[in-house]
Amino acid sequence: MVNVCNKKWVIFDNFYGKFGIIVMQLVLSDSTEKSVEVLSKETADEAVDAEAQTEKNFCKEKEVMKKRRKIILSVLVVLLLVVFYSDSQAVLDQQLGLPMDFFSQFNEGALIAQTFTVGITGRLTAIEVYVSQLNPPVGNLIVEIRSGVAYGDVVNPSTVLTSVSVPVALLPSSSPGGTGPAFVPINLPGLGVSVSEGDELAIVMHKDDTGGDVAWFGTNRMGSLPDYLGGMALTFQPAGWVYGPEGPIYYHPDRWWINQVADYGFRTYVEPVPEPASVLLLGLGIITILKKRG
């Protein structure tokens, strides 16, 4: 037999137990919906963030590719310019050629020069001088390209634009059994000397040792051979007194003077600068490429 009190409690227990289950189900159901709603919102936010990050990454990659294209184009431009300019060949510009009927012999301490006027704008890359060595073949021949060398008193020192040292032993010999004077080619160091049409320059030569002489051959303007009209042969005279039969006549400063009215044998070679029209066309092509790729 069931106790009534106990029965009541059982009924009460059953009722509240079922009610609790229903309440819990409702609570769980509402919580689940809210959780789903929260999850849906978080998922949507994550999707937006992911899309934004993807777009950001795409923009970054696009910017990187753009920079790479510019770098590649810059390298191509440089290569094109190098090829364009290096394609030019040195051509003969100024010269006093054969035959020769005159020479000057010089040793250490003496400077002799042949001035010339540039006829082609570009780079002076090589010269030739008509010389020979006189025994014994000692020391080096110093060959310079200078500006500021002109007939008369030296107001401002000349400027050495480039210099080359040639062992005298390598020069042709005018001694018995030798081959005699010849045009000796001399390549100027680096890219040579930048020159413009009309520039007045000089080939200056001297020795660095007292042993043995060098002779530079040319033509005497008092003779019948052709002259070089763009310059002249000069000798450097340090400051000092000029003497006559009865003693000193006058004092002169440093000067480039005429030893004899003559010209020395030489040749100059210039790599011409490309014509402005060609450079303009190349520049326009490069600008067009950069605009299209930009």
Say if 289 falls within a structural domain: no
* Rounded distance between C-alpha atoms, residue 264 and residue 217, angstroms: 6
pLDDT at 267: 98
Angle, alpha carbons 184-99-216 (nearest 5°): 45
Mean pLDDT, consecutive 10-residue stretches, the chain (294 aa), reads: 44 47 48 53 68 74 71 58 62 93 87 96 98 88 96 90 95 88 96 96 91 90 87 94 90 88 95 68 60 59
Q: Are residues 107 and 213 in the same domain?
A: yes
Pairing of strands 159-167, 140-147: antiparallel
Exposed, middle or buried, 253 (CB in 10 Å: 0-12/13-18/19+)?
exposed
Say if 285 falls within a structural domain: no
pLDDT at 22: 47
Say if 117 falls within a structural domain: yes
Q: Are residues 107 and 177 in the same domain?
A: yes
Exposed, middle or buried, 292 (CB in 10 Å: 0-12/13-18/19+)?
exposed
Q: Which amino acid is it at 219?
A: T
Q: Are residues 57 and 114 in the same domain?
A: no
**Domain tally, the chain:** 2
| Per-residue 3-state assignment (H helix, E strand, C coil) for 53-104 | HHHHHHHHHHHHHHHHHHHHHHHHHHHHHHHHHHCCCCEEEEEECCCCCEEE
Q: Which residue has the tokens 């401002």?
A: 156
pLDDT at 89: 92
Q: Are residues 140 and 260 in the same domain?
A: yes
pLDDT at 24: 47
Q: Are residues 121 and 84 in the same domain?
A: no
* Rounded distance between C-alpha atoms, residue 99 and residue 109, angstroms: 29
Say if 279 falls within a structural domain: no
Q: Are residues 99 and 74 in the same domain?
A: no
pLDDT at 293: 58
pLDDT at 48: 67
- Model pTM? 0.66
pLDDT at 150: 92
* Rounded distance between C-alpha atoms, residue 38 and residue 184, angstroms: 93
Domain hosting 126: range is 91-273
pLDDT at 41: 62
